[in-house]
Every structure is written in C-alpha cells, then in structure tokens.
Structure 1
Amino acid sequence: MNTFRKLYLALFILPFVVVSCSNKEEFIEVKDNYIFNPKTEVAKKIANGTNLMVHLKQDTSYVIQDGLVASEVAYISNTGHAMKIFTFEIDLNKPNIAIEVSTPNNSPKFAMQGMTKQALYEDAEGHQVWAGINADFFNMTTGAPQGILYKEGLPIKTTVTDGINTFFAILKNGKAFVGEQSDYEDVKSSIYEAVGGRVTLVSNGVLVTQTDARLEPRTAIGVSQDGSKVYMLVVDGRRFHYSNGMNYEALGKALKAMGAYDAINLDGGGSSTFFIRNTPDFTDNRFVLRNWPSDNGGMERAVANGILILKK
C-alpha cells in the first residue's frame, strides 16, 4: 500500500515540477513598445509642452472651415491610462468665422436639449453651424445654468451660484475673453455672448494649482492672450480601454500647451459633447457626434447651453 502510494505521488508531482522548470527557463520578458511620433500641430504642442503623452495611437486633424481646425488624438498617458481627446482651434481673425452661444430651441428660456438639436435651431443660410461643444453646468431638473448667460447681447442670466463660477465670453469687439467673477463687473457692458464655467485652469499664462485629481470626462475652453484664438478641448472618460478622462491639472497643461493664456473647465461627465457638421447641405443628419458621451451609451445628453462655431 505504501509502495503504491509513493509511486502514485511520484507520477503525479513529477510532470508539474518539470513543466515549472521549463516555464521558468523559457520565460519571455515583455517590454512596452511605445511609438511617439506626433504629426498634428495639437499633438506636437502637447508633446513639446507637457509630459502627458508617452504613446500615440491616433493623431489626426482636419480643416472644417478656414479658421476652424479639429483634431482627434488617442494616446497613452504618462500614468499608463488610455486617453482620447478632441480639440477645436478657432481663429477669430478670419472674417467668416464666429462663435455664438446656443440654448434649447434658440430660446431665452431655461430648458435642456442635446447639442446637435440646439445646432439645428441656429443653422440657416448665411449662418451655418459647423461645430460645437457643450458649455455650462446646470440644474438637471429645471435646466437653469449655474453661471451667467448672454445671447446676442441679451443678458439672460447675470447671477451665479458661488464665487467659483467663471465665464467664457465673446465681446462686442469680436474678441474672446475668459474671466473669473472678479472680472465680470469690468467687462459686463462689453459682453455679446457668454456662458458660465467653474474651475480656472490657466490664469494669465500660469497653470492654477489643483487639488482634485479625479479622472473624468471633461469639456474645457481657453483663449489666447490677445483674444483672437479660442481653444476647445473635450476628453472622453469612464471607459478603461478607450479613454479614462483627465484631471484638472492635466487639462490645464494641455490647454496651455495648445496656446491658451486663460482657460476654464466647463461641464463634463455625461454632458461632454463634441460635434461637427458632415455636409454643407441642410439634411436632417448633418450634425454628428465625434466623441463618446459616457453616461448614455454614447448618446448625447440634453444640456442647458453650448458654444457653436459658425460660418457667417
């Protein structure tokens, strides 16, 4: 009985010992093979101005209109996270480019509506909408935005929830402006279009120190020092293998590298929306999402207001 048991154990254990030694001897060390050759201007600026990227998976840009360039960049971050960002760079020096605020049904009343539908209400011959993003945080029951709201010179809302509220504006002289509450009194008489935001990311060319390190889908906007260039950035999130989102620090670094002298965070999460027009015709499906909104299986969320880029 004992002899049989010893023979059984020897036959049972020996193959595993041999296999274990074989696996150890044949173990292959896996090394990361990062490819980093930025081609678009946006990727080059972020690569040269920050340490955010270590591997590029997609790097494309396309001219939507003269003065409006879109870029889409997928990369692995320096923390090992997959990221997908979408950007617009708008040159307000171009005579046929304009930025306007959108509201649901093109109305001064508070409500909620997807950005591609808001664009439909603004789109017309000689006033063609070509792209846009979502804007302010809002009450998800009433649609009331947290910050100020101006549309075509009309002050729809001039109160804010607290001192953290910031704003993006197009002034009556055609320049873009990003400011904090302390700036509002100085420029309110000059505002033609405006939406609210929250956290300041870049102020007077300097990154603002951040304490919130959470990775989330984000929408943000910045302006050049002279107010002639506007930079819009949307980053998708909450999908590990596709895109994890950014924290405020990384968002500020990216916008500063792109050229922003001042920049703020807009509403993010499931509200983050980046869309373009796919045809000059006025077809029903002419506005298409390019990003992947996180909370509705890729469907856009109804939001309080947005920012549109138009060809006049």
Structure 2
Amino acid sequence: MKRLTFLLCLNVLFASAQTTKDSLALANAPWKTETLAKGVIWKYAHFQQKELFEANQSVNIVEVSRKARKFVWEIITADSLNKRDKKRGQLRKTSQLAQENDAFLAINGGFFDVKNGGSVDFIKINGQTPDTTRALKGSKAAFHGQAGIAVDKKNFQILRGEPLVGWEYLLPYNNIMLSGPLLRWENKDEVLPKNAFNDNRHPRSCVCTTKSGKTLLITVDGRSAESYGMNLSELTFLTRQLGCSSALNLDGGGSTTLWLKEKGVVNYPSDNKKFDHEGERSVSNALILKLLTRKNK
C-alpha cells in the first residue's frame, strides 16, 4: 500500500510538472509575430525537440481585437445560396473560397460530407440555409452539432447548444455555423468523453474568445514528424493558456487550413502527407474576416 501511495504521488507530481513545463514552453516560445492590420495580429511558433506535450507542434494563431474596426466576419460556403442554382454539394479549398469572397483571412469551418459535398451540420448565411445541410436521424445531435458560432458584421460569439437535433433553428441570428465539440465555456473547461476523436492526436482548427474581447483563430498542424497534432485535452489546455474564456473545435484533420491575404496558406495542411503549404483539402465552408466596405457596412 505504501508503494502504491508513493507511485500515485509520483504520478501527480509528474502531471503537475508536465503542465508547468507546457505552460513555460508556450510562454517562452520564440513566437514569430506580425501585425497584419490594426487590431489583427498573426503569431506562429514551431515547437521542436518535443517541447510541447512531449511532442513537436506547429501552431498558428490570429488575434482579432475590438480595435479591428475596418473588418467584418462572414461565414461562407462552397454552395450557391440561390435556390434556383443546382450547384449543390460543392467542395473547394479554403484558399479558393477566401479569394472568391475577397477575404482578408480565412480558416476552414465546420464538418462536411467528404464524398458528396455539403455541410453535415446546420449553416445559415444571411438568413438562408443551404439545402445541402443534413440533419442526422434520431433526436440526439452529433458531437459536432451541439455548439457553434454566430457572426454579425463585427460581432462574433460562440454558442453553447443542446444535445438535441433542432436547437439551432430557434436561434435569433442570421449567420450561424455549427461545429464541435465545445472545449471551454465561460472560463470553464468542458467535460470531453473518452473516444478516439477526442483522445488521438490530429491536426486541429479552433476558434475562441477572450475576456478582453479578442477573437482567436488557431490551427495546429499534425500527422508529420515535424508536428504531431493535438488531442482535444491538449487543445483545450492551449486555449486556456492563451486566455480563452470560450473555445470551439472546428473541423480538423486534412481540412485544417489558415489562409492570409498576400501570404497564402501559412500552416502545413496534411492531405499531401508532406510538411509544406500545398496539402489543402477541399472543404464545404469557411469562416473569413473581410475588409469593411460601404457595401457591407
């Protein structure tokens, strides 16, 4: 019994030391930082020699503050919102969607049907719902359909939903994208069930909001020796260390992409199995920040 107690104490100390080590790795990392515009900052760090979570990690962060008054948020889709247009189930790269919509920056969005195209979760854009949106059979919403985001020009918010299909139809917003799972809500970590999606390391995309009014777009590369990727507990820890009060997981894996105007894709998408900027996967939707003009004021 004494030996067991001793080993448990060692495990607790190790876990505590590991958390401290990871906190210090994030705080002391040589973040490459660049101001893209007033109130919009891009940060990048490559954690090598297994510095973060005992793994190599490649992390991009874009911070958008309240000072970014010349920009608006938009949810975009590869499908036409024109009901008469039969071009449904479309898939295009995040970079292509961004350029087609004259974006300043873009991150891939919610989950989609890789084979047939179209979102698998609720999306509403300017009050319209693309008809590729699918509702799952049964009454329980999928794990990626129990939370989401709502945007309205300069306003951005994370939504906590219900485990029931249809909760999103009651929301009083014109621009909604469901995704999940929710990682943090009002300064508390969410309880994540034990499963392969949550527990295995993958490339990840994430959005979060801070007390100071910043919105963060985060990508973590994965599936390579240069960057292992994160499980959702590690991603939650990262968002907490970055000061996120609420955080939401987006579609990840080969979909994970962060695009910046005049720089292109800045993360290392994994679909080509190379650690370069060329491995983008075609997706159904994305979240963009767009330059504010008289037309969209």
Give the TM-score normalised by the residue count of structure 2.
Answer: 0.74
Looking at CA atoms only, which structure, 1 or 2, has the larger radius of gyration?
1
Q: 5 Å matches for 1:215-254?
A: 215-225=201-211, 228-240=213-225, 242-254=226-238
Answer yes or no: is 1:116 the counterpart of 2:98: no
Letter aligned with residue 115 of structure 1: T
Give me the CA root mean square deviation: 2.9
Letter aligned with residue 244 of structure 1: Y
Q: Given that residues 65 and 311 in structure 1 are in contact (C-alpha distance below 8 angstroms), is that contact kept between their aligned partners in structure 2?
A: no
**Residues of 2 paired with 1:224 and 1:49: CA distance?**
23
Q: Given that residues 138 and 145 in structure 1 are in contact (C-alpha distance below 8 angstroms), is that contact kept between their aligned partners in structure 2?
A: yes
Q: 5 Å matches for 1:1-312?
A: 51=23, 53=25, 58-75=30-47, 76-92=50-66, 94-104=68-78, 107=81, 109-123=88-102, 129-156=103-130, 160-161=135-136, 162-164=141-143, 165-172=145-152, 174-182=154-162, 185=167, 188-210=170-192, 211=194, 212-225=198-211, 228-240=213-225, 242-278=226-262, 288-296=264-272, 297=274, 298-312=278-292
Letter aligned with residue 137 of structure 1: F
Letter aligned with residue 98 of structure 2: A
SS in 1 for 2:95: helix
SS in 1 for 2:215: strand
Letter aligned with residue 207 of structure 2: I
How much has 1:143 moved relative to structure 2?
Answer: 1.4
In structure 2, the CA distance between the partners of 1:258 and 1:54, relative to structure 1 (3 Å rule), is closer
**Residues of 2 paired with 1:308 and 1:85: CA distance?**
19
Letter aligned with residue 291 of structure 1: N
SS in 2 for 1:51: helix
| Aligned sequence identity (%) | 18
**Residues of 2 paired with 1:294 and 1:78: CA distance?**
20
1:74-111 per-residue CA deviation (whole Å, 9 max, x = no partner) reads 11434421101001111245321211112126656431
SS in 1 for 2:157: strand
Q: Given that residues 106 and 121 in structure 1 are in contact (C-alpha distance below 8 angstroms), is that contact kept between their aligned partners in structure 2?
A: no
**Residues of 1 paired with 2:152 and 2:181: CA distance?**
25
**Residues of 2 paired with 1:73 and 1:67: CA distance?**
20
Unaligned runs of 5+ in 2: 1-18, 83-87, 293-297
1:16-45 per-residue CA deviation (whole Å, 9 max, x = no partner) reads xxxxxxxxxxxxxxxxxxxxxxxxxxxxxx
Q: Given that residues 150 and 159 in structure 2 are in contact (C-alpha distance below 8 angstroms), is that contact kept between their aligned partners in structure 1?
A: no
Letter aligned with residue 264 of structure 2: V
How much has 1:259 moved relative to structure 2?
Answer: 2.6
**Residues of 2 paired with 1:56 and 1:259: CA distance?**
16
How much has 1:159 moved relative to structure 2?
Answer: 5.6
**Residues of 2 paired with 1:289 and 1:198: CA distance?**
23
Letter aligned with residue 76 of structure 2: S
**Residues of 1 paired with 2:188 and 2:158: CA distance?**
14
Q: Given that residues 166 and 180 in structure 1 are in contact (C-alpha distance below 8 angstroms), is that contact kept between their aligned partners in structure 2?
A: yes
Q: Given that residues 148 and 180 in structure 2 are in contact (C-alpha distance below 8 angstroms), is that contact kept between their aligned partners in structure 1?
A: no
Letter aligned with residue 290 of structure 1: V
In structure 2, the CA distance between the partners of 1:93 and 1:113, relative to structure 1 (3 Å rule), is same
In structure 2, the CA distance between the partners of 1:188 and 1:48, relative to structure 1 (3 Å rule), is farther
Unaligned runs of 5+ in 1: 1-46, 124-128, 279-286
In structure 2, the CA distance between the partners of 1:106 and 1:96, relative to structure 1 (3 Å rule), is farther
Q: Which residue of 2 aligns with 1:283?
A: none
In structure 2, the CA distance between the partners of 1:106 and 1:239, relative to structure 1 (3 Å rule), is same
In structure 2, the CA distance between the partners of 1:131 and 1:230, relative to structure 1 (3 Å rule), is same
In structure 2, the CA distance between the partners of 1:172 and 1:239, relative to structure 1 (3 Å rule), is closer
**Residues of 2 paired with 1:107 and 1:52: CA distance?**
47
How much has 1:66 moved relative to structure 2?
Answer: 1.4
Q: Which residue of 1 aligns with 2:16?
A: none
